[in-house]
Structures are given as C-alpha cells and as structure tokens.
Amino acid sequence: MIPRRLTGSKGKGMLDAVGALSLLALGFVGGGSFFAQERSFDLVIANGRVMDPESGLDAVRNVGIRDGKIITISTAPLNGRQTIEAKGLVVSPGFIDLHEHGQEPRNYQFQARDGVTTSLELEAGTNDVARWYAEREGKSLINFGVSIGHIPVRAQVVGHAKGDLVSSITRSTEAEAALHREATPDELSEMKALIETGLKQGALAEGMGINYTPGATRWEIIEMFRLAAKYYAPVHVHLRYAGLIEPETGLNAIEEVIAAAAATGAPLHVVHITSMGLRNTPQLIAMVEGARQRGLDVTTECYPYTAGSTGLHTAVFDPGWQARMGIDYKDVQWAETGERLTAETFEKYRKQGGIVVIHMIPEEAARIAVANPMVMIASDGMPITGAKVHPRGQGTFSRVLGHYVREEKALDLMTALKKMTLMPAQRLEKRAPVFNNKGRIRVGADADITIFDPDRVIDKATFDEPLQYSEGISFVVVNGIPVVKDGKLVEGVLPGRAMRAPISQ
C-alpha cells in the first residue's frame, strides 16, 4: 500500500529527491528503490515476513533503518551498510516485558536471546527512581525502565530498610516484620511524598505488591491509587491474596483493586493473573473483562508456566499458606539447589530467606490466560540467585511462540505477538510517550526488532536446567543496533536506552 503512493497517481515525475523528502516529512515514505539508491541505510532487514500487530501487515517486505529508526518498509530491494537476510523468518516488533525483576546484565542477555528489546521492572519497582536509571544509563544491552515501588518505599519508611525492592524479595530483613504492621499517619504521609517524588522523576508506573505488605490498610491502598491517578501512572499490582479459600481469595483481592481504580481514576494493571487466580483464573479474567467493558482502564498479564516464584521469607508464606494455595511442602522448591521442601527444611530456609519456585498453577489456567487475546505476556523473571531459579525470565516469550502457538495451537501468531509488543506499549504510552514508537513495525518507529524462525523458536530453560538460552531467535535489534546475530549475542554493544515518563521536577 505504501509503495503505491509513490508509483501510482502522482506519476514518476514526482519521484525526485524533493518529492521524496516532503513525503518523508509527512510520514508517507514507503520506499521505491529510487529512494534507497539516494542514500543507503545503516541496516536493512531483507526479505522477511514482516508482522505488525497495529496495522495488521503480514507480508514479505524489506525494512530500512537509519539512526535507530525505521525509515522505510518496502517491497523493493534496499541498500544498507549492513544487511540481515531474513528470508523464511518473521520480522516482529521487539518484545516488551512489563515485568522482569532481574535488571542486571546477565538477565538482559537471557532476555535478548528470548527476543526481548525492552525489559521493565514495574511490579516491585524501586524506592529511588533517579538512582535506578542513572545506574543503567549507557550500560545496558536492551531498553530498561522501572516503577516507583510501594513495597520498597514502605520498607524504607515503616521498616527503616535500605536498598530497593529486589533486596526485600531476595533477602530476609527486619523490614519484613514492619510490612505486617499498619502505618501511622506520619508514615503514610512520608510514603506518599516518596511515591510522588518517584513519579516526578519519571517512573513509568506505580508498583504494588499488597500480598507482601499485609499491614497496608484498604485506605493506604486507595491513597496510593490517588497519587497514581494524578500522574496517569498505571498501578501494576500483585493482589492482596492469591488463595482459594474465602475471604483470602484472588477474587476478593481483585475486587479491592478494581474498586480502587474506579474510585480514584487510576489505570490498573493486574500482574501475573494465573498465580493470583490459580484454578479460579477464568473468574479473575472475567472481572478484568467486565471492568473494561464498563469503561475502566484495567489490563492484565500472565507468564506461560505452571509454577510461581517468590521469597520464602515473605508474607506469602505466613501460616496457612498450604490451604490458601492448595499445595504442600513438596510443591515448593528451594531455588539454590532445586530440592523440594519438607516441614523441617521449610522452617530452616524461611529463617534464612531466599527464593523458591512454587508449583501451584494448573496447566489449564496457564493455557486459558496465554490464549486470551486481552491478557498480555510478561515474564516476572527473577534475579539469578542460584542454579535453579524459575525459567520464566529466560524462556517466557519463546515458550509462548513455540509451545503455545506452534505446538498447542492455543492462539495464532499475530495475536501472540500483539500480546508481547503493541499491547504493552499501549499500556504505557499515555504515561510515557516514548512508547508511541515502541511495539510497532511502522515508519518512524524505533528500530527495536525481533527476527525469529516460527518453525524452530522454543524455550530451552526448564525447572531442572533454567539457565539456558531460547532457540530460534535469530536476530534482535535494539535502537537500530543488532544485539543478537545468527542466534548469538553480539559482544561489546550497549544500545539500550532508558524508558522513562517525562520528568517533572
């Protein structure tokens, strides 16, 4: 459709450099070969099956990239200083992961090999947004971003804890006890000030994990939503309960946050809906769909696995956890060694503190959420603290494409790509306009592109061997720079940029 503009009614006489430039200014340039010959591209992705969930384009095209942007999408051949031959491969917008706790170089390498070009820590977040971005600026393989996190802010104010959220999930601290107690009015004021500072410093969202902060009252949650509403920041929330027995159920807990969103106007994003809903996941999805149909800005996400993962020392394992989650000691696995727990080792490791994998999500729940076109894909990847960490940080996106799309036929490829590219970008673009140019293969969009073999793509990370790269992700481009080539990481490139909301102080 785009080349027709250049070769059709306007005729060849219009196709001079001036015409091309004015069309470029209007965003209409599609790429007759005349244009390509005028100036070569930094990078050309040739002969790939371009799939763009926004426009619906699904056809063989050549993509021309210059200065980190997509300049043309063309049926005609293009000249580039570098060319990726993508015949037989899918050329997709790079995957955007809304939920990755491991925000370190090693995690970024695993994520790049899984097709991720933007990795965001929006659930737990940080208590120091400015410092968090400063630590990663110019040093990252892929794009990165963070939320201001209610858990670390509360740990700082109520528990006088130092450090950010990851430390509160990975290690036992005195903060843990404080997270179980109600905040005083002064502490609530201090928390609100810190949350607002983080939003002014460009946090992409407000992160909450109410299950980890059982001392937070209903009103404390409402107050946090009110601040998010003021900045149109989505609240990415791990619900208060993930249980099966009333009143401590996922259904009860999702009512709390949908009510908070309705009463305050804050956008709401419910994280990992399968590990909250367990066998009742379809009921939780129905609540999100119903809220959306009534005009609320509510979204959700899932990871494609039948186990969760968190800190054994956290409130998630407060007494009664077996009945709440419908599991027992044997279903809990110590990440450092992979051993299944007993009553004895549970007590020992809970005192020590550390990550466990929790086998608790029915396969049917995982499948229903992955297949639902409204539920986004996000990994919830964990910091790599031991040999047996959860595989989701390493294999989520390839697992959806290889296992659920190709093998199980649970959903079609374009729908799957939409759930991992366009939808996460749309979730964030009202708050952070940088996402207007992410998640799309479109002229003018950022050249974040994932190129994979739809017949081969598959996750290799398993619960037994989690530190394995995915297969079939052939090339990954971040801001126009290849970070994966011929299925291997490229050495010495750090093209990742900060994904941040406008800074207002």
Residues near Zn ion (CB under 5 A) = 238
Angle of helix 185-200 relative to helix 150-157, nearest 10 degrees, comes to 140
State in angstroms the smallest separation of the CB of 238 from Zn ion: 4
State in angstroms the smallest separation of the CB of 412 from Zn ion: 28
Distance of alpha carbon 266 from alpha carbon 199, whole angstroms? 13
State in angstroms the smallest separation of the CB of 448 from Zn ion: 25
State in angstroms the smallest separation of the CB of 209 from Zn ion: 6
**Tokens at 482, concatenated:** 């290849």
Coil, helix or strand at residue 244: strand
Query: 10 Å Cβ neighbour count for 160?
Result: 11
Residue 235 is inside which H or E element, if any?
A: strand 235-238
State in angstroms the smallest separation of the CB of 272 from Zn ion: 6
Residue linked to tokens 């001036």: 18
Residue 420 is inside which H or E element, if any?
A: helix 413-420
Residue number of the CB closest to Zn ion reads 238
Q: How far apart are the first and last CA of the chain?
A: 44
455 CB contacts (<8 Å, ≥6 apart)? Answer: 406, 472
Nearer to Zn ion, 83 or 306 (CB): 306
Distance of alpha carbon 333 from alpha carbon 380, whole angstroms? 17
Nearer to Zn ion, 100 or 453 (CB): 100
Nearer to Zn ion, 238 or 392 (CB): 238
**Tokens at 205, concatenated:** 């969202």
State in angstroms the smallest separation of the CB of 349 from Zn ion: 20
State in angstroms the smallest separation of the CB of 97 from Zn ion: 14
Distance of alpha carbon 325 from alpha carbon 268, whole angstroms? 24
Spell out the alpha helix ranges (H) of 201-249. 218-230
Residue 253 is inside which H or E element, if any?
A: helix 250-264
Residue 116: φ, ψ to 5°: -85, 130
Coil, helix or strand at residue 466: coil
Distance of alpha carbon 465 from alpha carbon 488, whole angstroms? 19
Answer whether 248's CB lies under 8 Å from 263's CB: no
Nearer to Zn ion, 390 or 419 (CB): 390
State in angstroms the smallest separation of the CB of 304 from Zn ion: 16
Distance of alpha carbon 21 from alpha carbon 28, whole angstroms? 10
Distance of alpha carbon 322 from alpha carbon 224, whole angstroms? 30
State in angstroms the smallest separation of the CB of 297 from Zn ion: 21
Residue 286 is inside which H or E element, if any?
A: helix 281-293
Spell out the alpha helix ranges (H) of 204-245. 218-230
State in angstroms the smallest separation of the CB of 26 from Zn ion: 45
State in angstroms the smallest separation of the CB of 387 from Zn ion: 22
Answer whether 295's CB lies under 8 Å from 326's CB: no
Nearer to Zn ion, 154 or 238 (CB): 238
Nearer to Zn ion, 301 or 446 (CB): 301
